[in-house]
Amino acid sequence: MIFNNKKLIIFDFDGTLINSIPDLTLSINKMLSNYNLPKLTIEQVIPFIGNGAKPLVERSINYATNGLEKSNIIFEEAFELYLDSYRQNICNKTYTYNGVVDTLKYLHKKGYKLAICTNKPYIFIEPILKKLNIRDYFNHWIGEDSITEKKPSAAPLLYLAEKENVEISSCLMVGDSKNDIYAAKNADMDCVGVSYGYNYNEHIADYNPTHIIDNFAELQECL
């Protein structure tokens, strides 16, 4: 599929541009170990990603304490422990998926405006972009706490379109999660689903994005 007349491409972050799951899991496990709870595997943590940091911590604690006593856990304290650990391990094993760097370079060179809309806390975005040497490709990035609503609300996508002064029909959302597809549909925006991400272990095709790609570099054939 070829998308004509697009000017602004908005990317999801975790599961689309970067595989952050090893560092997220490490930080979840550091938090859990504080309460002598069993460690979770990467596979166990994957379906907890997508709605932001608090749901990730909450789902992980619920899973790890299944049947165990949890009255000793104060959620706000556990959340701070997780944030502290992630701050220190933000980009140890996180990497860009295959084709991401070359494709960002290609799109940037072609004159597209590029932005990121993630449900990750804002404070974590820039350090990762810098560490992975991709910061300068993006005009804007927003996190779950940047405005009052997050994906699957249309609000963050509408906010970015307005910031960049681009009409919705000239924007394209690219993401791995149903939250990305719903946000795009709620904003009446075309969207590309990537099949290799997390998406609660569900097929992205089940959410009917405008187009699906299996490798990020395929975007170069669409734009």
- Active-site residue numbers? 12
- Cβ proximity to ligand PGA: between 4 and 197 the closer is 197
Site string for ligand PGA, 176-215 (x = CB under 6 A): -x--------------------------------------
By the rule CB under 6 A, 52 interacts with ligand PGA: yes
By the rule CB under 6 A, 120 interacts with ligand PGA: yes
As a whole number of angstroms, the distance between CA 56 and CA 32 comes to 12
Question: Are 150 and 117 contacting, i.e. CB atoms less than 8 angstroms apart?
Answer: no
CB atoms closer than 10 angstroms to residue 189? 21
- Cβ proximity to ligand PGA: between 111 and 191 the closer is 191
* Residue 6: closest CA among 153, 210, 142: 210
- Choose, by CB under 6 A, the member of 118, 129, 137, 141 that binds ligand PGA: 118
Site string for ligand PGA, 125-154 (x = CB under 6 A): ------------------------------
Q: Which two tokens stand for residue 117?
A: 């809309």
Question: Are 12 and 50 contacting, i.e. CB atoms less than 8 angstroms apart?
Answer: no
Counting Cα atoms < 13 Å in the Cβ hemisphere of 5 gives 7
Query: 56-75: which residues touch ligand PGA (CB under 6 A)?
Result: 56
- Cβ proximity to ligand PGA: between 92 and 169 the closer is 92
CB atoms closer than 10 angstroms to residue 76? 8
By the rule CB under 6 A, 51 interacts with ligand PGA: yes
Helix-, strand-, coil-residue percentages of the chain, each rounded to 5: 45, 15, 40
- Choose, by CB under 6 A, the member of 25, 60, 85, 119 that binds ligand PGA: 119
Q: 171: which strand partners? A: 8
Binding-site ranges for ligand PGA (CB under 6 A): 12-15, 49-52, 56, 118-120, 177
